[in-house]
Structure 1
Amino acid sequence: MAWEELGRDADRENSRTRDRLVGVYIGILAVVLAICSLGGSNAEQDATQQNIAASNIWAFFQAKNARRQALRLHADEFDVMLKTTPAMPDDVRKSIEAKIADYKEQDKKLTSDTTGGEGLDELFNKGKALEAQRDESLKRGPYFDYGQALLQIAIVLASVAIISGGNLLLFLSFILGALGTAATVGGFTLAFPLPFAG
């Protein structure tokens, strides 16, 4: 009878030790899930902010381009006026030529402004860079989505394994937990392509 009691006590102690280890494992999964959730939230916010910034840059680009086109049209009109009116008084001709030169100088500055960084060329490059950053942030989203789903399922399976005492559910939980952790790391690093992500 004493041997049976010792055996039952040993089984209970082994079960408690196993349950404690599974509890620690669930805690680790919960921490990774929290990090994954934070990464997904940050990726979404970054994509939104970069999209807004890119939209602002493109709106500014369009306004400057419209201004440049208007200046070009005015310069062309004055140029046609000079060519079609050869008997124009010299002071009027000089005034028109000065206006054409001024329009062409403004056109040049609107096209490229390396000092202010707000020429059309510079704005185009800024807009494209912001779009590239936005696209990279959008690529991170599916990694975090899959990571969160896998980690949540792994936590549920490990919790059920504590109650049922089954090792198959715990094994499945380990596999899903590892995949969820890998997806989380992939979301931060983009070190590997995500299968089935469009």
Structure 2
Amino acid sequence: MSVNEELREHAEHAHDDFSRKAGAGMAIIAALLAVVAVYGHLTTTEELLAQQKASDQWAFFQAKSLRRYQSEVARDILKATPGERAQAASAKYDLNLAKYEREGEEIKEKAEELGKESDLSGRRALRLHVGEIFLEMAIVFSSLAILTRKHLFWYSGIASASIGTVISATSFLILH
């Protein structure tokens, strides 16, 4: 077989119906993969950002707890000190104690809320990344189908793409 005849035969195979369908399907899968991958990365970033914010809130909570403890110590020392001025100053530290306890509880609630938000984003990101794996496998199967002209690879690609799409789509169903 001459080189020209071989090239013509390959060109005909490249333009047959199966190759066109598999190629078009592969393009659709690649586009879906791009969307899932980007959304997965954004969700991972949201997880890390919420985690960092929660960490900052816990540090703030610790600072408020330390201030509350210092106010307790100062109040106790002033209560043990005789005199009206010491008692008046002690009352000031009582007010500080109440303020730091209230603020500490608010900060603690916010830190816990951010922790839950981080966990939620983490579960969503995991689903998206697992879906991404199946979509990548679908592209590999589709490529093999075009190269080998075997329908089994094409059907495997369709199945893998379907599984990846379903897993990725369920990330939107995770509410808490």
Deviation readout 1:177-196 (Å, 9 max, x if unpaired): 100111111233337xxxxx
Q: Percent identity?
A: 25
Q: Answer yes or no: is the 8 Å Cα contact 1:39–1:187 preserved in 2.
A: no
Structure 2: distance between partners of 1:29 and 1:16: 20
- Larger Rg: 1 or 2? 1
Unaligned 5+ segments in structure 2 are: 1-11
Residue 186 (structure 1) aligned to one of 163, 170, 176: 170
The correspondence of residues 95-134 of structure 1 with structure 2, limited to 5 A, is 95-112=85-102, 119-134=103-118
Structure 2: distance between partners of 1:53 and 1:109: 23
Residue 94 (structure 1) aligned to one of 74, 80, 84: 84
Q: Answer yes or no: is the 8 Å Cα contact 1:75–1:104 preserved in 2.
A: yes
Residue matched to 1:30:
30
Q: Answer yes or no: is the 8 Å Cα contact 1:22–1:162 preserved in 2.
A: yes
The correspondence of residues 1-198 of structure 1 with structure 2, limited to 5 A, is 16-82=16-82, 93-112=83-102, 119-190=103-174
Q: How many correspondences in the alignment?
A: 163
Q: CA RMSD in A?
A: 1.7
Structure 1: distance between partners of 2:165 and 2:113: 30
Q: Answer yes or no: is the 8 Å Cα contact 1:151–1:181 preserved in 2.
A: yes
C-alpha displacement of 1:144: 1.9
Q: Answer yes or no: is the 8 Å Cα contact 1:154–1:176 preserved in 2.
A: yes
Q: Which has the higher helix share?
A: 2
Amino acid at match of 2:118: R
Q: Normalising by structure 1, what TM-score?
A: 0.77
Amino acid at match of 2:24: V
Amino acid at match of 2:137: I
Q: Answer yes or no: is the 8 Å Cα contact 1:154–1:174 preserved in 2.
A: yes
Q: Normalising by structure 2, what TM-score?
A: 0.86
Amino acid at match of 2:172: F
Change (3 A) 1:48 1:54: same
Deviation readout 1:60-92 (Å, 9 max, x if unpaired): 11011100111011111221234xxxxxxxxxx
Structure 1: distance between partners of 2:174 and 2:88: 56
Structure 1: distance between partners of 2:149 and 2:112: 55
Q: Answer yes or no: is the 8 Å Cα contact 1:29–1:177 preserved in 2.
A: yes
Structure 1: distance between partners of 2:95 and 2:76: 14
Structure 1: distance between partners of 2:174 and 2:64: 36
C-alpha displacement of 1:22: 1.6
